[in-house]
Amino acid sequence: MSTNKDIAILGVGMHPWGKWGRNFVEYGVKAARDALADSGVNWRDIQFVSGAATIRNGYPGQVAGATFAQALGWQGAQVNTSYAACASGSQALAAARSKILSGECEVALVIGSDTTPKGFLKPQPGDRPDDPDWVRFRIGITNPTYFALYARRRIEMYGDTLEDFAQVKIKNAQHGLSNPNARYRKAFNAADVAASPMVADPLRLMDICATSDGAAAIIVSSVDYARKVGKAKAPRIAAISTVTPTFASALVEMPDIATDSAVAVPAQSFRAALPRKAYEEAGIGPEDVSLAEVYDLSTALELDWIEDLQLCARGDAAKLLREGVTRVGGRLPVNPSGGLACFGEAVPAQALAQVCELTWQLRGQAGERQVAGAKVGITANQGLFGHGSSVIVKA
């Protein structure tokens, strides 16, 4: 069953992350052209353009799929644009997979790109007591609040320390040093992190990821098509989970100020549900995973994800970190790309960037950050409003 649902990754491309201040279309076209070149597929042969949307940039930002189809040259392809906050890229990838598996197309371009405004995100002006995003800022609850609550919970429950969180940053910074697409390529030590200002206790500025400009693109095809163009051994996508939460959702999620009430039905973890569905779909288990790219919006959140991915028992992620298991060279590297720590988040591109990294790793093209013998990679991310994803790529 699971093998029938595989699709092939023929090519990947990125525009380096940064704060370039240019139009997102330019980044996306660069990434798309690189992915096309990497795949050997001609733009005219792309039958479906699957865009990941961003909510910024006014109108044009909304229409990623069609915008890139126009910029690359209208050629009559089918198009779709997915919006799912941080999971937009995975949903766009899932849309392309469905189009391929249904036989509606053989080869598709999946693309996400963003130009981010400077400074912290903040809500639209106006008085909107019905909008939870407005309400929480009105009473003083910002984005870092949520990440900090999860981080502090780890300290209280599992005995994690600020030093553990700093080590996540140090590890990921080390990974990203040689990544040409990373925005930050600088090594840090524990003293550097400890010297960075506290933002939301226990998280310091260096524990929290920035927002960046960037773009990622992927050419995917049916396994038959891959064979036909001489790429029978291309990495395969074995699972894409984009499940919604199950009521009652156990964690208080941005932008809410309360969880669901679990009086009528039991509370459920959304983050844990995402990879569970992916493993089931791929027909493999956590024991098969060689490496993971997870959404380290904060350093501490990387530890949560490691447990949600069932790569260790609940509460043991810091132990793995301390033992060096999760660094490149360890048994199970996490965020070999450098993660959000080195990239900063470019919302609609980020989930695709994770898959680009897995592709390079599984092909053995990751250079100094190469994970030896990488066979199976998994991604995880989560965004606003019940959006999240987990993708499994295998060699």
Partner 1 sequence: MSAVLKEQAVGVPVLDGWFTLDEQRPHLLGTRCTACGTYYFPKLKGFCRNPDCNGESFEEVPLSRTGKLWSFTSAAYQPPEPYVQVDKEAFVPFAIAAVELAKEKMIVLGQVVAGTGVESLRAGLEMELVLEPLADGKLTWKWKVAA
Q: What count of Cα atoms within 13 Å lies in the side-chain half-sphere of residue 334?
A: 32
Residue 152 touches which of its own copies, partner 1, none (Cβ within 5-8 Å per kind): partner 1
Q: Does 118 interact with partner 1 (rule: CB under 8 A)?
A: no
Computed on alpha carbons and rounded to an integer, the radius of gyration of the chain in Å comes to: 20
Judging by DSSP bridges, how do beta strands 107-114 and 213-221 pair with one another?
antiparallel
Q: How many residues bind partner 1 (CB under 8 A)?
A: 59
Residue 384 touches which of its own copies, partner 1, none (Cβ within 5-8 Å per kind): its own copies
Instruction: Scan residues 17-36 and list those touching partner 1 (CB under 8 A).
Output: 25-26, 29, 33
Least distance CB 112 / its own copies (angstroms): 13
Judging by DSSP bridges, how do beta strands 236-241 and 7-18 pair with one another?
antiparallel
Cβ atoms within 10 Å of 345's Cβ, excluding its own: 22
Least distance CB 296 / partner 1 (angstroms): 18
Residue 197 touches which of its own copies, partner 1, none (Cβ within 5-8 Å per kind): partner 1
User: CA nearest 97: which of 233, 273, 241, 229?
Assistant: 241
Q: Does 373 interact with partner 1 (rule: CB under 8 A)?
A: no
Answer whether 160's CB lies under 8 Å from 303's CB: yes
Residue 37 touches which of partner 1, its own copies, none (Cβ within 5-8 Å per kind): none
For residues 332 and 325, what is the distance between their CA atoms, to the nearest angstrom? 6
Buried (b) or exposed (e) across 174-189, using 16+ Cβ within 10 A?
Answer: bbbbebebbbbeeebe
Instruction: Scan residues 196-215 and list those touching partner 1 (CB under 8 A).
Output: 197-203
CB-nearer residue toward partner 1: 180 or 197: 197
User: CA nearest 266: which of 253, 281, 247, 279?
Assistant: 247
CA 248, distance to chain mean position in Å, is 25
Least distance CB 101 / partner 1 (angstroms): 26
Q: What is the DSSP letter of 44?
A: G
**Which one of residues 97, 136, 236, 271 is an interface residue with partner 1 (CB under 8 A)?**
136
Residue 125 touches which of its own copies, partner 1, none (Cβ within 5-8 Å per kind): partner 1
Residue 386 touches which of partner 1, its own copies, none (Cβ within 5-8 Å per kind): its own copies
Q: What is the DSSP letter of 334?
A: B
Name the helix (H) or strand (E) containing 112: strand 107-114
For partner 1, what does the binding mask look like between residues 43 and 72, x meaning CB under 8 A? xx-------------------------xxx
Is residue 301 helix, strand or coil? helix
Least distance CB 126 / partner 1 (angstroms): 8
For residues 301 and 154, what is the distance between their CA atoms, to the nearest angstrom? 10
Residue 347 touches which of its own copies, partner 1, none (Cβ within 5-8 Å per kind): none
Which residues of this chain interact with partner 1, rule CB under 8 A? 25-26, 29, 33, 43-44, 70-75, 120, 122-123, 125, 127, 129, 132, 134-142, 144-145, 148-153, 156-157, 197-203, 246-248, 252, 257-265, 267
